[in-house]
Amino acid sequence: MRPPFIKLLSLLLCCLYVVTGCHSKGNAKVSPADDLQQIKDSGELVILTMYSSTSYFLYRGQEMGFQYELGKEFAKSLGGKS
């Protein structure tokens, strides 16, 4: 008698998990235009990247790397500081 109860309980918990995971919050929507405008207004773009020999690294005290340069140029295109 115990195994059917455990199966039923686990099925109920799985269904509850799915139902609560699919619940959307009405006020959680943010327009991408608002985000971009906030970045432009602040004048600063913060980018997270890996410290590696190709993406971002320090060479003789100077910042370099492909992703660093890409982010720097993108910030310039938005009118921010580089």
- Cβ–Cβ under 8 Å, residues 28 and 40: no
Q: How far is CA 58 from CA 1, 5, 24, 65, in A?
A: 66, 61, 43, 8
Block means of pLDDT (10 residues each) for the chain, 82 residues, are 75 75 63 73 83 90 92 84 62
Domains contained in the chain, number: 1
Assess if residue 1 is contained within a domain.
Answer: no
Assess if residue 20 is contained within a domain.
Answer: no
Q: Which domain holds residue 38?
A: 33-82
Assess if residue 38 is contained within a domain.
Answer: yes
| pTM score, whole prediction | 0.52
Q: What is the C-alpha to C-alpha distance for residues 24 and 40, in angstroms, rounded to an integer?
A: 29
pLDDT of residue 12: 79
CA angle 7, 13, 16 (to 5 degrees): 140
Assess if residue 76 is contained within a domain.
Answer: yes
